[in-house]
Structure 1
Amino acid sequence: MGLLDGKIVLVNGGTQGVGAAVARAAVREGAAVAVTGRRPEPGEALVAELTAAGGEAVYVHADLARAEAARDAVARVVAVHGRVDCLVNAAGLTSRGTLLDTTPELFDRHIAVNLRAPFFAMQAAVADMVRREAPGTIVNVITSSAHGGQPFLAPYVAAKAGLTGLTRNAAHAHRWDRVRINGLNIGWTATEGEDATQRAFHGAGDDWRERAAERLPMGRLGRPDEIADFVVLLLSDRSGVVTGSVIDWDQNVLGGLD
């Protein structure tokens, strides 16, 4: 018996990085998975990988920068499977901007992907759960930078801090519906997206992971599969009654000083 045996899991931003790792872990634990993403190639490749291993998975094309895309993705999964038991919001935009140089267009895109999309995905998923009078679980992948973050992450932090508040608000609102909603503030993680970001915005070379590891207490970056295991735990009954928690999944300690 897997932790998610028989569950229908939708992973937004599930075609690469942390989202893809969550999809793999969910299938391993017995779930049928739908993953969303803007690019069909990695989405279809992941689905082929999971189905070849005996899992059940589908790719749903969705550009989460579009207001209706998040709700539409939930509707498509409900049309195929009849329900959504678990939702993971793992999509994220990390393009850089400071308070002084962020344009309205960049700010709006961060809000669209990092806050509006999770809001309306949760709206649609919770509506399905409430309609069926069935329990459900949601995990929002946030960021440790939501506590303040670096100066070059101003619009990202604004949106993700909003998602932190939304996570707690929605959890409180729907606790009597037995819908559990939690979040993870993840730290620096070795993903394809982070590699592209480091090269595009920080001039990083091939050894950037090694250089970064030297500055981290555990001597390495976090791994997507580790985060995925934690997400699956929160989605499953094994996490008990926990709801409204936003957990710092990081190796640096908030408020700690050297």
Structure 2
Amino acid sequence: MGLLDGKVVLVSGGTQGVGAGVALAAAREGADVVVTGRRREVGEALLPRLREHLAPGRSAEYVRADVADVASAQASVAAVVERFGRVDCLCNAAGLTSRGTLLGTTPELFDEHVAVNLRGPFFTMQAAVADMVRRGEPGTVVNVTSTSAHGGQPYLAPYVAAKAGLVGATRNAAHAHRADRVRVNALNIGWTDTEGEDATQRAFHGAGDDWRERAASALPMGRLGRVDEIADLVVLLLSDRSGVVTGSVVDWDQNVLGGLD
């Protein structure tokens, strides 16, 4: 459909999982795409897949960046501006989901979650929006957050705190820059089948090879969410097709907040 024809799209945390899905969808929709991540081998391995989906004349690049390091996160935006002259669209997709309860979370674990799930996205957004405002051109941001930001599970205390902060930052940025024609929205995603979730289930919950089937059997629609479904909605929100929508936080899940049986 060409929803992002000619746009320059930066996907922070875009080398795997939801971020990689967003990058692939953006490539299919006509964008130049830049993905960032800590592991160079993972980022460079994604590039051939991205380039298979690019429109003629478009390109895909990998920039090594650690979102937990503010200078690295900001430098990734500067690298995109140097390469393409601008950033039109930003998707903050990096995330850390290690476990911790209120009583069991150490200051170190709390700081790790804030660094990856809040501080890094905040300053990446700051750098991208600064470029949009400097040029006097419209732009879009989508922050990938979590339905757990509404309260979440007891073992996700630091994760919930950080993601809830990103939800607030999304609304604040949207309000502050609506007159600049910079639209900022967020997607609260529910339980999704990703490489990272597989590793998390095995590392923290002792899950076996059948964990997806077991999880699906307990869900209302009989399956986990899929990355490509999330990616399509992110691309819509990044595109002009989503109109004037800004400051919205969309719950992308099969459970209904407040719904009781």
TM-score interval, normalised by the smaller of the two chains: over 0.9
- Return the TM-score normalized by structure 2: 0.97
Equivalent residue, structure 1, for 2:3: 3
Structure 1 stretches of 4+ with a deviation exceeding 3 A read: 52-55
Q: Does the CA contact (< 8 Å) of 2:5 and 2:31 recur in 1?
A: yes
Larger CA deviation: 83-92 vs 69-78: 69-78
User: Is 2:24 the partner of 1:24?
Assistant: yes
Write the distance in 1 (CA, Å) between the matches of 2:231 and 2:54: 19
1:208 partner amino acid = W
1:106 partner amino acid = L
Q: Does the CA contact (< 8 Å) of 2:87 and 2:131 recur in 1?
A: yes
1:96-107 maps to which residues of 2 (within 5 A)?
Answer: 96-107=99-110
Equivalent residue, structure 1, for 2:212: 209
User: Is 2:34 the partner of 1:34?
Assistant: yes
1:10 partner amino acid = L
SS at match of 1:59: strand
Write the distance in 2 (CA, Å) between the matches of 1:240 and 1:90: 22
How far is 1:54 from its partner?
4.2
Unpaired stretches in structure 1, ≥5 consecutive residues: none
1:104 partner amino acid = P
How far is 1:89 from its partner?
0.2
Equivalent residue, structure 1, for 2:50: 50
Write the distance in 2 (CA, Å) between the matches of 1:75 and 1:64: 14
Paired residue for 2:157, among 150, 154, 157? 154
1:140 partner amino acid = N
User: Is 2:147 the partner of 1:144?
Assistant: yes
SS at match of 1:88: strand
Q: Does the CA contact (< 8 Å) of 2:10 and 2:80 recur in 1?
A: yes
Write the distance in 2 (CA, Å) between the matches of 1:190 and 1:29: 23
Alpha carbon RMSD of aligned pairs, Å?
Answer: 0.8
How far is 1:7 from its partner?
0.2
Percentage of identical aligned residues: 78
2:66 partner amino acid = D
1:29 partner amino acid = E
Q: Does the CA contact (< 8 Å) of 2:186 and 2:250 recur in 1?
A: yes
SS at match of 1:142: strand
Equivalent residue, structure 2, for 1:75: 78
SS at match of 2:186: strand
Unpaired stretches in structure 2, ≥5 consecutive residues: none
User: Is 2:91 the partner of 1:88?
Assistant: yes
Write the distance in 2 (CA, Å) between the matches of 1:123 and 1:181: 11
1:26 partner amino acid = A
How far is 1:155 from its partner?
0.2
Paired residue for 1:118, among 106, 110, 121? 121
Task: Report Cα offsets for 1:115-157 as digits up to 9, x if no partner.
Answer: 0011101110010000000000000000000000000000000
- Return the TM-score normalized by structure 1: 0.99
1:226 partner amino acid = E
